[in-house]
């Protein structure tokens, strides 16, 4: 199974009528092949917070309230139970990077079917979760993920949820996704082939483009975004990475060259050269 990644919504993804346009989607292969039939789009329920037997409300150790909403489905209850068990540490991971100033009400919805997930969240067969300013929604296929993969997806999406109001619609995705992976993925040691994995055969390309993040080799593109965020945190400090995010991704943000120079104190080519040396070291 392909590891979890996240990308901004594009025109090729249908967006449900109840969702705002700025979807951020966590991509994860959940088992359906392209030849399998696609279920018809279903109507949206009147309220995504209508309780079912699989719906609960929990209070986290930081005082936040998490509404775990099940919309039906065989594995919904077990999926929500696994998510609920991870929420405290996920919230702590987000706060450790972002600070405590993010919503105190979190709604997490588990769709009852692929068709429902497609209708409400615009998610296709390889998408595990989507995030908007109102909620995080998981696809039924997320129930098949390992605990480690689910933990990464949850923290990644929870960071997107926490940072939504500070993130412009045209924020650079190499940074929004790289930072979300920085929060979501464990800080494992760099493997011996990290440079090849992250930069590939064309290291001069530098930061991944939107086309690469959406393309057939998107896993490598997401790795490059993640490794860049890890480099900034390691070389300049975690506070500098957060400052870069706020400057480069916030409403009215300047171009990336200006944001990097203002927050890291160096021009972008110099920072990229340092990154490539760091990841190869």
Tens digits of per-residue pLDDT, 93-131?
A: 999 999 999 999 999 999 998 888 888 877 677 789 999
* Interval 171-185 mean pLDDT: 97
Please give the Cα distance from 126 to 61 (Å, whole number): 33
Q: Alpha-carbon distance 113 to 268, whole Å?
A: 45
Average pLDDT score over residue span 141-154: 97
Nearest to 72 by CA among 91, 92, 45, 40: 45
pLDDT tier for residue 40 given thresholds of 50, 70 and 90: very low
* pLDDT grade for 91, boundaries at 50, 70 and 90: very high
Tell me what pLDDT residue 195 has: 72
Q: Is the pTM of this model over 0.75?
A: yes
Say whether 38 sits in a helix, a strand or coil: coil
Provide the mean pLDDT of the chain.
Answer: 81
7 CB contacts (<8 Å, ≥6 apart)?
A: 24, 25, 27, 173, 177, 213, 214, 218
Nearest Cα neighbor of 244 from 275, 279, 200, 217 is: 275
The pLDDT value recorded for residue 262 is 98
More confident residue, 48 or 262: 262
Q: What is the CA radius of gyration of the chain?
A: 18
Convert the pLDDT of each residue in 155-175 to its tens digit.
999 999 999 999 999 999 999
């Amino acid at each position: 199974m392909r590891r979890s990644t996240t990308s901004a919504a594009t025109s090729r993804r249908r967006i449900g009528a109840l969702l705002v346009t700025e979807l951020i989607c966590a991509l994860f292969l959940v088992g359906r092949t392209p030849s399998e039939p696609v279920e018809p789009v279903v109507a949206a329920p009147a309220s995504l917070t209508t309780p079912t037997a699989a719906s609960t409300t929990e209070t986290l150790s930081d005082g936040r309230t998490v509404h775990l909403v099940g919309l039906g489905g065989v594995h919904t209850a077990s999926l929500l139970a696994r998510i609920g068990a991870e929420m405290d540490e996920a919230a702590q991971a987000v706060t450790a990077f972002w600070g405590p100033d993010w919503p105190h009400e979190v709604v997490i919805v588990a769709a009852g079917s692929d068709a429902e997930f497609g209708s409400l969240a615009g998610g296709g067969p390889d998408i595990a979760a989507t995030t908007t300013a109102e909620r995080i929604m998981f696809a039924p296929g997320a129930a098949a993920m390992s605990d480690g993969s689910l933990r990464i997806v949850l923290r990644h999406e929870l960071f997107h949820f926490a940072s939504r109001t500070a993130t412009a619609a045209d924020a650079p995705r190499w940074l929004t996704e790289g930072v979300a992976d920085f929060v979501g993925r464990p800080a494992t040691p760099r493997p011996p082939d990290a440079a090849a994995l992250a930069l590939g055969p064309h290291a001069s390309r530098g930061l991944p483009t939107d086309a690469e993040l959406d393309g057939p080799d998107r896993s490598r593109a997401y790795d490059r975004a993640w490794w860049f965020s890890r480099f900034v945190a390691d070389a300049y400090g975690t506070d500098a990475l957060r400052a870069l995010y706020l400057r480069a991704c916030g409403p009215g943000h300047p171009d990336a060259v200006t944001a990097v120079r203002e927050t890291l104190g160096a021009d972008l080519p110099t920072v990229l050269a340092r990154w490539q040396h760091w990841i190869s070291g």
